[in-house]
Amino acid sequence: MPALHPAHATRHRRKSEKKVLRSRHKSIGQPPGSLIHIGEQKVEKTEITAIGYDEKQAVTLSVGNVEECLALKERFKVLWIDVAGLHETGVIEKIGELFGIDPLTLEDILHTGQRPKVEDFERYLYLTLQMLDFNQEHGEVGHEQLSVVVGPGWIITFQERPGDMFDPVRQRIDSPNAKLRKHEADFLAYTLVDAVVDHYFSTLEEIENRIDLLDADLVATFSQESFNALNALKRELIMFRKAVWPLREIIGSISRDDFAVVGDLVEHYFRDVYDHVILVIDTVEVFREIVTSMHETWLAGVNNRMNEIMKFLTMIATIFMPLSFIAGVYGMNFRNMPELNLWWGYYAVLGLMLLIVFGFLKYYRSRKWY
Amino acid sequence: MPALHPAHATRHRRKSEKKVLRSRHKSIGQPPGSLIHIGEQKVEKTEITAIGYDEKQAVTLSVGNVEECLALKERFKVLWIDVAGLHETGVIEKIGELFGIDPLTLEDILHTGQRPKVEDFERYLYLTLQMLDFNQEHGEVGHEQLSVVVGPGWIITFQERPGDMFDPVRQRIDSPNAKLRKHEADFLAYTLVDAVVDHYFSTLEEIENRIDLLDADLVATFSQESFNALNALKRELIMFRKAVWPLREIIGSISRDDFAVVGDLVEHYFRDVYDHVILVIDTVEVFREIVTSMHETWLAGVNNRMNEIMKFLTMIATIFMPLSFIAGVYGMNFRNMPELNLWWGYYAVLGLMLLIVFGFLKYYRSRKWY
Amino acid sequence: MPALHPAHATRHRRKSEKKVLRSRHKSIGQPPGSLIHIGEQKVEKTEITAIGYDEKQAVTLSVGNVEECLALKERFKVLWIDVAGLHETGVIEKIGELFGIDPLTLEDILHTGQRPKVEDFERYLYLTLQMLDFNQEHGEVGHEQLSVVVGPGWIITFQERPGDMFDPVRQRIDSPNAKLRKHEADFLAYTLVDAVVDHYFSTLEEIENRIDLLDADLVATFSQESFNALNALKRELIMFRKAVWPLREIIGSISRDDFAVVGDLVEHYFRDVYDHVILVIDTVEVFREIVTSMHETWLAGVNNRMNEIMKFLTMIATIFMPLSFIAGVYGMNFRNMPELNLWWGYYAVLGLMLLIVFGFLKYYRSRKWY
Amino acid sequence: MPALHPAHATRHRRKSEKKVLRSRHKSIGQPPGSLIHIGEQKVEKTEITAIGYDEKQAVTLSVGNVEECLALKERFKVLWIDVAGLHETGVIEKIGELFGIDPLTLEDILHTGQRPKVEDFERYLYLTLQMLDFNQEHGEVGHEQLSVVVGPGWIITFQERPGDMFDPVRQRIDSPNAKLRKHEADFLAYTLVDAVVDHYFSTLEEIENRIDLLDADLVATFSQESFNALNALKRELIMFRKAVWPLREIIGSISRDDFAVVGDLVEHYFRDVYDHVILVIDTVEVFREIVTSMHETWLAGVNNRMNEIMKFLTMIATIFMPLSFIAGVYGMNFRNMPELNLWWGYYAVLGLMLLIVFGFLKYYRSRKWY
Amino acid sequence: MPALHPAHATRHRRKSEKKVLRSRHKSIGQPPGSLIHIGEQKVEKTEITAIGYDEKQAVTLSVGNVEECLALKERFKVLWIDVAGLHETGVIEKIGELFGIDPLTLEDILHTGQRPKVEDFERYLYLTLQMLDFNQEHGEVGHEQLSVVVGPGWIITFQERPGDMFDPVRQRIDSPNAKLRKHEADFLAYTLVDAVVDHYFSTLEEIENRIDLLDADLVATFSQESFNALNALKRELIMFRKAVWPLREIIGSISRDDFAVVGDLVEHYFRDVYDHVILVIDTVEVFREIVTSMHETWLAGVNNRMNEIMKFLTMIATIFMPLSFIAGVYGMNFRNMPELNLWWGYYAVLGLMLLIVFGFLKYYRSRKWY
């Protein structure tokens, strides 16, 4: 079961990976098109996988030398090259040369932390978006940049590290009767983008689970820890929204505008993705409003609890102060205090005290303090 | 009478049905057009009712086999097939085949929790919206997806479970002189959408009743429970708005654009529905502002009550502390304390104490503390 | 003088008339154009007044039978029929027949609580807006629906009850040299709308008076009552805005678009009304911001007052606790307490106590607590 | 030096001049174009100054009879008539006749408290905006309506009272080589509007000075007075924004659209004024955000101070309560209390008390309470 | 290491340089195009550097007399004149004459504190934006105005003081094979703007570092100082946003519109800068939301701490008050108090007291107070 308040995690929350900004020191003052990797190195070696398929067959290759891909490109209707790991800029550059990719595009691929965007270069379409993943242990959303370059008959995807988000797509390519095998590269592009957007729903579901956990926790404790966890979640939602918001425009533009490499049929499918993106954005907004209302509940609870504490203190203090005062009066050492000599004096005072106690209790009951 | 703070309901609030998101696990990685039901199964068996009518007659059939409908389609001017229950995907698929409905449309019908939308497929118009219902016991708004497919001479509606929202429409079909009987299928579509939107008003009225109940309750207690009930209502309004907001665009587009299956007259009627939708949205916004101001009232009340408590404590404490101190002084055991031997010492001290009490009381009165 | 916090009024605030929504039970499931009155019956009998005028003469008639109006229509250049009271649907229907008004328009006239709108039916222009009135006693804004149907040479107005808002217009019609008498029916329409919008300014002035009253009251007391009065006012402003906001679009459209029954000159005058509407909306927004800042003042005042109370309690408690402790020490009964036997012991202790008091007082003075 | 919290000013803040709305009682029910002055009478007598100039000479006249101006109009290239004081409607009406000004324009001139606007009447351009001035003593922004009517070769300005805002313009007219003398009336219009907008910057500078004063004051005291002064400033900024916001559209429209009386060159200069207006609006928004953050600082300070007070009370109370209790125990009169007879009993108890004090102090130190 | 709460800095925060508005006293009432420097004088002497380059060579000159530049202009393909210091208006005027710059442009160059804008004068393009720098010691963002005038074959930049932001650009000009050397002046303009925008990222990174520092500090102390530092940061972000927000429109317009001096290729590169500007604006918004959530954390922490303090006080007070009362009772001097004479009376009372202590402790444990 995931820890709800991973204190150490929260404290070091924004240490390494969680910076909003990725450091751009290396690229400042460089001419445009300089190939410098901005972002963390997340794998040791860049892994390249090439998948070629047409209606009849499908082949998957782990590629050592980039040139090997060219052979596949000619043999199959569709070639998909998946590059995982961006720090070996030489490899990226070579791919760029082989497939005629603009240096500005390569620069965008290497600069992770980009805002999602789509750019049409006639020969190919460049698309970048963020793959999001929810880490239940830290309550954090992981952000990874995905770049997709779609040309006629080929697709190249660039990820920061190998992942399993595209496994269902690979399975569908491998199954002989898949619809996917009958279509062109643009359909594969749609399938990949659809997989990323579908994964947003999984991430949102896990966020909703966390919201439910925190909601239950909130009511039970009203502790500073549960507030901090709530606030951390709020920030994750801010980052989530920042990552998906531009997709509204981007996917909308793909489904509307006439991009050279995207056919009419696939435009139609992208309209479906567009609906999903809108639903994702709506849901993020609803989550933000829910988290805000939980925040208000927390504050109200703390206020209310303070009220309870003060009521309790006030009840005890107001009852015992008069009693102690009376006891104090008869503890005075004046020589002439007639009551002290009455044999029933002590009992009378005890009775008076009881009366006072009942009086106060009745008063508090009438004000519904207990 | 409905319970105001159904504690068990609130606690389990977001358990089953009330998730913002419906789980999409089953559909992730599936090719587009895969017919998988997303959402809860709400009925045991899919119920299909077919109603055929023209100016002269009207027939209602409970359908076992979908093909039976085709006969009706030819006999009557308008055929309305109402499908309640979405888990039997085979049945849905067969209907799709018989009426030439696109697999993507069928997918949308099966994936409940859709954002309302309208799509024009030339041959037919696809429209999906949410039917809302207010459960007074739990203070929750129930959301159910309605899909309407309107073709020339036929309408198919898909609901998650059988409901009585369309009963008045059925009655009007059954009555021989109804205006409805003289019009085409598009008029029936208008009538159904109008019934759904009219029901929004009923739901809003019940929400307003609940607001009034909570308002009265709020002033009386300022308890955490009433705050939680308020907050739960706020979330329901967030969800309500999410459900109706897209209708502004959708109904507006039907009343404006030239959709093949919607005639000019019915467009005119849809303009009326559009006005209602705007009024619904305005009212939801007003309710949200009212709930926000109730929230502020609650906080102000808690703050004020704290003030009252502290004033009371302060009055009691500041009066008795000096008195107890004086008693303490004359309870000291110094050998040489001349006052102790005066015969009127005790009475003088009691008098002094009374003076102090009246002094404080006068001071507090002057500051309007009581 | 109006009561500032009419407790009973506030408590029953949203009982009858003050519902945001008017109940639509009666109309649900009815075919479009069904003439059912939605809203409260505010008069016993529908009163109909007909005023006919041209440059030479003006006649005012209290009408029993609607057909009587037709005679006037032919005799005069302009005929204005004013209908007060909407529950006698038969009368409304007859008027509709005589003047060729669409059933959908009649339905809108009868359904009070409409959003303001304008609709062009070629033969006539239909306009509905809300007449607002401020009730100083309850601090409430009264909302009443006004429907205006403008045809060539005639105007029919429908109000929920007879009112005096149009008295100045009637006086102008009666005065022989009035500019009004020289113009067509569209000019009368402008005059009536202008009267309604001018009345918004009176209502806003009375609201401003109330704001000033509450502002003075706020500073004096910071009571829960003044907060509630403030909050009630806020809700009235929300409702006010809801009522006037759509006018921006409606009046703008009349002054811009070419409606058949509105001449160019009157369009020009409507542009003037448009400026007034914008000023009304701006003013409502400013009032909302002022009320919000008064709300903040209230909260700040309560916080500050709490501070004062706690400072006072703390000063008294921290001074007397050490003193009582010292007295307590010398009230102990140990056999061997040398100080007790010193003849100046008592005086030394009293001196020490005085020193402590002055020390604390100096400390509090240095922290500006008093 | 200006008083920071002018209590009497704040209390009577919204009495006479400071109403958001100017009373419209007099004009309600009047036909359009009725010349009734709405607003306060700010001068005893309307002052009219006429300035005529061309490249060679410039003449300034204090005008008694309006007809005198006509002579100047023919003699000079540009005639500027400045009218200060609006209550003598007869004078205004006569000017209107002489220069052919529409009654609706005259009505707008007389109704002060207008929303800024521009209207093109072909023969002339009508422009109204608000002159703002900051009163350091009351911390209030004074609003005065300026109407400018620009015709070919003449300009008439209407102010509520004589002011010195246009003195630099008059000086430039008087200096023989001024660029201004070489241009037409439209350039003078630009110069006047520019002077008003430049004055906004002075007003904003004075507001910024007040913000700085309040900022310093805030940190020092956290008193209710400083909060009220802050809140009053907030309202002034709301009113300021209301006054300048419409200029964005108005000045933009002058610099863009082809108004008959404004030449291309002057349009260019108006673009410069437009930039200034945007900067003014941006600055007002920044000030509003700064004032909001000061408000939050105040609240945080009050909260924090409460914390300090309660910490102090808690420290004193928790230390002395156990001590007093111990003293109380050994003040009991039981016959059999062995400790009382020990010769070192008293000293032991005093030692125990010291230990308790040090224990608490150490505990509070560890929690950083002091 | 930078100080986190530079108290003196905070106190004098808005003294000299940090005014939102720069004083415009000098320019009020001046005719348009008057060359008056608005803003602080930041250097003693205006420094002018001229850099001429083409593909073969590059020359850098420190210019004493402005005319010297003209020679360079003819010798090289591109001439870049960098002017640092704006108070010597004579120099600026001379440059304006030599390069044919409009007086209105020169006025804008001299009036620092401008809103960023772009203006096309056919012969040249005028662009002004703000260079931002983060001062870690004071936690302040420094704002400096940069004006860029781009003509055919020449660029003139005006800064308020010499800076090192353009050093990487100078280095690239000096290196013989730089791409930069092959392009025209518009490419240099792009390079300079890109350098300024890249620097925004550095500034944002430093702001993020400060946010992290404050975040750590916040959790540790909840002091008023950390709140003030937070609030100061908030204001810096407000100013940052004000400075970069207009760039969205400006850079977008350069990359879209056909400005005479900007070629198609460079337009393409500006599209890249546009993406960066959007990312900068998004990041500022995210930082604002993060700072807001830190603000809420602070408030929640203070509330929570108050709760802790009150719980502690209540526990101590409620335990010792009954005990002291009991001790007080047996300290009374009534003659007839039977318990006093019991030999086990004292021990019984001590036992009772212990029972009470344990009772309360158990109660508080059950409510999770400790």
- C296-347: per-residue pLDDT in tens? 999 999 998 999 999 999 999 999 999 999 999 999 999 999 999 999 999 9
**Any bridge partners for residue D127, and if so which?**
D118, D148
Mean pLDDT of C231-245: 92
The answer to whether the CB atoms of C307 and D310 lie below 8 A apart is: no
Closest CA to E333 of A195, C95, A329: A329
pLDDT digits (tens, 9 = 90+) for C145-158: 999 999 999 999 99
Instruction: Report d(CA B111, CA A272) in Å as an integer.
Output: 12
For residue C49, count CB atoms less than 10 angstroms from its CB and return exposed for 0-12, middle for 13-18, buried for 19 or more. middle
Does residue A63 have a pLDDT over 90?
Answer: no
- A315 neighbors A360 (Cβ within 8 angstroms): yes
- Across chain A, what does the average pLDDT equal? 88
- Across chain D, what does the average pLDDT equal? 88
Subunits close to D (at least 3 CB pairs below 8 A) = C, E
- D221 band by pLDDT with thresholds 50, 70 and 90: confident
pLDDT digits (tens, 9 = 90+) for E69-89: 888 888 899 999 999 999 888
Which has the higher per-residue pLDDT, E356 or D44?
E356
User: Residue C365 CB: number of other CB atoms within 10 A?
Assistant: 10
- A342 band by pLDDT with thresholds 50, 70 and 90: very high
pLDDT digits (tens, 9 = 90+) for E48-58: 999 999 988 99
- Phi, psi dihedral angles at B18 (to 5 degrees): -85, 10
How near does any CA of chain A get to the CA of B105, in Å? 10
Does residue A175 have a pLDDT over 60?
Answer: yes
| Chain D residues with CB-CB distance to E117 below 8 A | 275
The answer to whether the CB atoms of A29 and E318 lie below 8 A apart is: no
Instruction: Report d(CA B367, CA B314) in Å as an integer.
Output: 13
Residue C7 is predicted with a pLDDT of 41
User: Residue C167 CB: number of other CB atoms within 10 A?
Assistant: 11
pLDDT digits (tens, 9 = 90+) for B336-345: 999 999 999 9
The answer to whether the CB atoms of D205 and E242 lie below 8 A apart is: no
pLDDT digits (tens, 9 = 90+) for C32-59: 777 888 888 888 888 999 999 998 899 9
Residue C284 is predicted with a pLDDT of 95
Mean pLDDT of A92-116: 90
Which CATH number describes the domain made up of A6-300? 3.30.460.20
Percent of chain D residues topping a pLDDT of 90? 55
Q: Which of A303, A323, A357 to mutate to test the interface with B (most CBs of B within 10 A)?
A: A303
Mean pLDDT of E186-194: 94
pLDDT digits (tens, 9 = 90+) for E146-177: 999 999 999 999 999 888 889 989 999 988 88
Does residue E23 have a pLDDT over 80?
Answer: no
- E17 band by pLDDT with thresholds 50, 70 and 90: very low
pLDDT digits (tens, 9 = 90+) for D344-367: 999 999 999 999 999 999 999 998
Report the 3 state secondary structure along chain B: CCCCCCHHHHHCCCCCCCCCCCCCHHHCCCCCCCCCCECCCCCCCCEEEEEEECCCCEEEEEECCCCHHHHHHHHCCEEEEEEECCCCHHHHHHHHHHHCCCHHHHHHHHECCCCCEEEECCCCEEEEEEEEEEECCCCEEEEEEEEEEEECCEEEEEECCCCCCCHHHHHHHHCCCCHHHHCCHHHHHHHHHHHHHHHHHHHHHHHHHHHHHHHHHHHHHCCHHHHHHHHHHHHHHHHHHHHHCCHHHHHHHHHHCCCCCCCHHHHHHHHHHHHHHHHHHHHHHHHHHHHHHHHHHHHHHHHHHHHHHHHHHHHHHHHHHHHHHHHHHCCCCCCCCHHHHCCCHHHHHHHHHHHHHHHHHHHHHHCCCC
| Chain E residues with CB-CB distance to A231 below 8 A | 293, 296-297
The answer to whether the CB atoms of E295 and D296 lie below 8 A apart is: yes
For residue C334, count CB atoms less than 10 angstroms from its CB and return exposed for 0-12, middle for 13-18, buried for 19 or more. buried
Q: Which of C143, C238, C325, C326 to mutate to test the interface with B (most CBs of B within 10 A)?
A: C238
Measured in Å, how far apart are chain A's first and last C-alpha atoms?
39
The answer to whether the CB atoms of D238 and C290 lie below 8 A apart is: yes
How near does any CA of chain B get to the CA of C23, in Å? 7
Does residue C204 have a pLDDT over 70?
Answer: yes
Q: Which of D5, D22, D323 to mutate to test the interface with C (most CBs of C within 10 A)?
A: D323
Q: Which residues contact A180 (CB under 8 A, 6 or more apart)?
A: A169, A172, A173, A187, A188, A191, B31
How near does any CA of chain D get to the CA of C279, in Å? 6
How near does any CA of chain E get to the CA of D307, in Å? 6
Closest CA to C239 of C205, C207, C213: C207
| Chain B residues with CB-CB distance to C121 below 8 A | none
Instruction: Report d(CA A99, CA A74) in Å as an integer.
Output: 13
- C370 band by pLDDT with thresholds 50, 70 and 90: confident
The answer to whether the CB atoms of B321 and A317 lie below 8 A apart is: no
Q: What's the pTM?
A: 0.86
Asked if CATH classification 2.60.40.1120 holds for the domain at A311-366, the reply, yes or no, is: no
Domain boundaries, chain D: 6-300, 311-366
Does residue E310 have a pLDDT over 90?
Answer: yes
- Give Cα separations from B347 to A332, A341, B134, E179 (angstroms): 12, 16, 71, 105
Closest CA to C106 of C27, C43, C193, C37: C37
Which has the higher per-residue pLDDT, B246 or C65?
B246
Residue D225 is predicted with a pLDDT of 86
Residue C18 is predicted with a pLDDT of 62
Residue C14 is predicted with a pLDDT of 42
Tokens 């308890």 -> residue: B223
Subunits close to B (at least 3 CB pairs below 8 A) = A, C
Residue E18 is predicted with a pLDDT of 62
Residue E327 is predicted with a pLDDT of 95
Does residue A6 have a pLDDT over 70?
Answer: no
- Number of A/B CB contacts below 8 angstroms equals 160
Does residue C9 have a pLDDT over 50?
Answer: no
Residue D69 is predicted with a pLDDT of 84
- C286 neighbors D20 (Cβ within 8 angstroms): yes
- Helices D224-256, C264-329: crossing angle, 10 deg rounding: 160
Instruction: Report d(CA B298, CA C295) in Å as an integer.
Output: 13
Nearest Cα residue in chain E from A303: E303
| Chain E residues with CB-CB distance to D169 below 8 A | 29
pLDDT digits (tens, 9 = 90+) for B15-45: 434 677 777 767 777 777 778 888 888 888 8
How near does any CA of chain B get to the CA of C321, in Å? 8
pLDDT digits (tens, 9 = 90+) for A309-340: 999 999 999 999 999 999 999 999 999 999 99
pLDDT digits (tens, 9 = 90+) for B74-122: 889 999 999 999 988 889 999 999 999 998 899 999 998 889 999 998 8
Mean pLDDT of D119-140: 89
Percent of chain D residues topping a pLDDT of 70? 95
Instruction: Report d(CA C255, CA C265) in Å as an integer.
Output: 10
Instruction: Report d(CA B352, CA C301) in Å as an integer.
Output: 36
Closest CA to D114 of D81, D45, D160: D160
Beta strands in D111-255 (DSSP E): 117-120, 125-135, 140-151, 154-159
Mean pLDDT of B297-319: 92
